[in-house]
Homo-oligomer: A and B are copies of this chain.
Amino acid sequence: MSYSESRAWLQSDISSDIRYETDTSLPPEGFRLSGGSGAYTVVSADEAGRMYGSYALQAKLSLGETDVSLESAPAVSERILNHWDNITGVVERGYSGASLFFKDGALAYDPERMRFYARLLASVGVNRICFNNVNVTPGSAKLITGELLPSLSKLAAIFRPFHIRVIIAVDFNSPVLLGGLPTSDPLDGSIAAWWQSAADAVYKEIPDLAGFLVKADSEFRNGPAALGRTQADGANVIARALEAHGGKVYWRCFVYNCEQDWRDGVTDRPKAAYDHFFPLDGEFDRNVVLQVKHGPSDFQVREPNSPLLGAMKHTSQAVELQITQEYTGQQIDLYALAVQWEEIFAAPVSDTRLTRDLIGSEVTAVAAVANTGSGENWTGHTLAQANLYAFGRFAWDPSVSAQDVLNDWIGLTFGTDPALREPLLRMMLSSRGVYEKYNAPLGVCWMVNIHHHYGPSPEGYEFSKWGTYHRASRTAIGVDRTENGTGYTAQYHPALNKLYSDPKTCPEEMLLYFHRLPYDFVLKSGKTLLQHIYDTHFEGVRDVEGFIKTWDALKPLLPEGAYRSVAARLQWQLLNAREWRDVINTYFFRLTGIPDEKGRTIYP
């Protein structure tokens, strides 16, 4: 629902007879709900648990449940939202309007909307927020200085009652940028002192600050490697400054060579995070959290999980998801991320453990890049609100199912009438698969327009410096990442290495991520790889046409504004799907000269 609709809804909170009790044996932030017929009990060990219990109860009542019995606690203590908001007011990879927090180089926000936003995030379990972009600009670097800190502190005060603690993205080079020192070398004593004094000043204003987020040595940003130091040296010098204050360093692992030569067939970008960080296991201070993107590429439509996740045994990790749909339709195309996240958390890390088994163990935090902005409906696409909601649910409990999460979101947003809820649930559950059908095929990735990442460009990244190549020729496509090729698969547990290394056992949807295959390779369906590409691309468009029919049929059951805005996005998505279909099919037809078996139109 839109911001204004939400405000009305907030004022009509269900009022029931609720009793609050304390039970210190419950885990932090956890709660136990019980009761029925208008009288309920919320039991918790702490204030936060009481809040989460209240929200959970309210959700259950909103969904029409009357008898309530639930005990719940979050899988991890840190559930983090990363905004990529520039202090200019522009949101990097933002598709929902301008920044909610910044404008023209300063903090600028509507306090009422902020309180609502804090409540919204708290209601789905988010308890950490970073307002400024990991790509810290000279302007936003000043968030830790006297110039901007007082107003940041006021903003933090709005989120505090909702048990949301603030993280600040800082520039590794701050000692030079802000302190005027000649270096940022982490092993230089003056640098440790500078960070200590900066941290002390920040904690004076925001005593419960969660910590600093750092993107270092990544995509032209400063970092310890440029100074001949390790990632651990870089993270630790900042972590030590925060330790006495109870703060952490969230250190991003998105480190790779972004000036690769496409002619270089040995360097393989997916290997980078593991290669850079795995050897340093044990060298990071205990208040360093390594923040690892869920996949080894960059939030693609389809990629395997990062082999770094769970590989480190003596280092805290955060898994980083992306709610904003950078490569997944930019909130124009419908893409329910819950489906992808369910797969991510259910994917194995070894022969005995799944990724979700890491959560709360090696992985102590779940983070995600926000999809919210100043637009009236928060998320650009109204149905993309479900992605923000789903993030909260998965961060709280990674074993939840996409079906349950989306079903709840639909019920809470549009009501529980099965005539609306069931078809919309089917549509949303299928949406990731549909987008994938008309996108780059079989996990090959990166067939996307350069820079802005919307729409197809089969060779858009093929000769770039970003390390993103599929090397399609007239006979074959893909990169052999097995031990016969770049050796990437060896970064996985032996059982997974084996699974991924054989095209017969490799999950088919990731076939071209791991293998270079001829177009006549036969899939389990009995189709050739090429015919599969043609078929899925025709199907994808047909499926979007189906979305439009479904949505139109639901019109009488939907609020007018939501109906119209989503209907307009679906038409836009249809154009996008057709463009993908035709460009991708034409690209492969030109390369192979092989027509579609079913004689459908492929432009020459």
Contacts and interface: CB of A to CB of B under 8 A. Distances in A.
A589 B457 CA distance: 20
Interface residues of A, number: 26
Contact of A457 (B459, B592, B593, B603): B459
A588 to B, nearest CB: 11
A593 B474 contact: yes
B474 A592 contact: yes
A458 interface: yes
A502 B354 CA distance: 66
B604 A471 contact: yes
A261 B592 CA distance: 23
A472 B590 contact: yes
A591 B474 CA distance: 5
Nearest to A582: B263
State how many copies of this chain the complex holds.
2
A457 B475 CA distance: 21
A473 B591 CA distance: 6
B459 A593 contact: no
Contacts of A456: 463
A376 B372 CA distance: 46
A75 interface: no
Interface in A155-184: none
Contact of A450 (B265, B450, B604): B450
Contacts of A473: 589-591, 593, 604
Contact of A459 (B458, B582, B589): B458
A329 to B, nearest CB: 18
Contacts of A459: 457-459
25 contacts: A262-B583, A263-B582, A263-B603, A265-B604, A450-B450, A456-B463, A457-B459, A457-B463, A458-B463, A459-B459, A460-B460, A463-B579, A463-B586, A471-B590, A471-B604, A473-B589, A473-B591, A473-B604, A474-B474, A474-B590, A474-B591, A474-B592, A475-B593, A590-B591, A591-B591
